[in-house]
A and B are shown apart, each in its own frame.
Chain A
Amino acid sequence: MYSTKYVKPNSTPEALEAIKSLSEGKFLAGGMTLIPTLKQRLASPDGLVDISGCNLDTIADEGETIKIGAMSRHVSVAESPVVKKAIPTLASLAEGIGDRQVRNRGTLGGSVANNDPSACYPSAVLALKATVHTNSRSIAADDFFTGMFETALEEDEIIESISFSKPTKANYVKFPNPASRYAMVGVFVAKFGEGVRVAVTGAGEGGVFRHKEMETALSSNYSSDSLSSLNIASDGLISDLHASAEYRANLIKEMTKRAVV
């Protein structure tokens, strides 16, 4: 790892000040993505601003939504009575991330800011019509993810919390990569009064995406039968050593069927 400077401010304003004083500083949350990246010398920030002391880990029921602080660790979301009651599948999504030690450290904000094409949380953000609250604005999920590892976040912008809309029904099903536990394909289906949203992770070359065809089919008939006649195209899907684009297309349909119960 290249040498770097470490600071741990006590508030978001202090964290913003600290990051501005660096030329290529990085926020450090759970470190489960950033530290492996630094170890492999794939990044060389001149400073790390640890945001774990900034009180960004509250989880609250706000009526129509639940608001989860960016620093909430996966284990806290998995065990939160608020999350379990309002959106149980979000708690089980968190419980299914990586392994116990990764969940003890990794955070919601880190996962969403990183937007790994195989990460689980981005699909929940997109399917649950979430709003990402940063230090300067609120961004709708549909505008947030802009491509593989790309988001609408500006440099030096910090996610403070994310509000997830409560669905009438929702389910996340993933086909995990057996080694890493990341999603080879993960599908988050959420039913709202006005229709169904289906977000797919692990599969798209541009990162997480909504599957409009399946949304339309499920909005008119919320059952796995309504998917049977759909032909899932493999265009724009990832092909790598783990799975071909065609195999992923088939997994998308299969995971969605399993999610719709």
Chain B
Amino acid sequence: MGDISLTINGKVETHDVGDNTLLVDFIREKAGLTGTHIGCDTSQCGACVVHLDGVSVKACTILAAQAAGSEVTTIEGIGSSDSLHPMQEAFQENHGLQCGFCTPGMVMSAIELVSKNKNASEKEIRDGLEGNICRCTGYHNIVKSVKAGAEKMGV
């Protein structure tokens, strides 16, 4: 046990947790931010994707200790219900979600994807979302949302 300190959405979070604590549990249980989801045990579904120092990562496969001193951005950090992030708006407008379980991870992966490649083709979007699994939508409208999100973001 010992204090682990990291910045989540601009706020410093310091908590006394075991070295075996996963980043996703630190975010959900210690920082109380439950927008980051856990959908699997095998590091495959991407429901837990957050940005760690600007890079998308699976928060279920990193220890909080590995992220100590870093800046983490979660889905709560990119917009609010009054003022959605353009990528969130795009998902809403293009019916890019049904149950919404995969959506936080999808949106976080999508933001990194389009900020690296603003003119991503359909194939590049599909490849880029390889690490995010959706049980509902069949992906079609997710791809549409990401395209629209890229335009809205004007990246």
Contacts and interface: CB of A to CB of B under 8 A. Distances in A.
Interface residues of B, number: 27
A104 B116 CA distance: 13
Contact of B56 (A32, A39, A101): A101
Given A31-B61, A50-B66, A100 B20 contact: no
Contacts, number: 75
10 contacts: A1-B22, A6-B19, A6-B66, A28-B66, A36-B43, A52-B66, A99-B131, A99-B132, A100-B128, A101-B57
Given A31-B66, A100-B131, A105 B57 contact: yes
Determine the main DSSP class of B at the interface with A.
mixed
Contacts of B44: 179-180
A152 interface: no
Q: How many interface residues does chain A have, given as a range? A: 20 to 34
A102 B61 CA distance: 9
Given A31-B66, A101-B46, A101-B49, A40 B41 contact: yes
A3 B20 contact: yes
A5 B1 CA distance: 9
B70 to A, nearest CB: 11
B42 interface: yes
B50 to A, nearest CB: 10
B131 A101 contact: yes
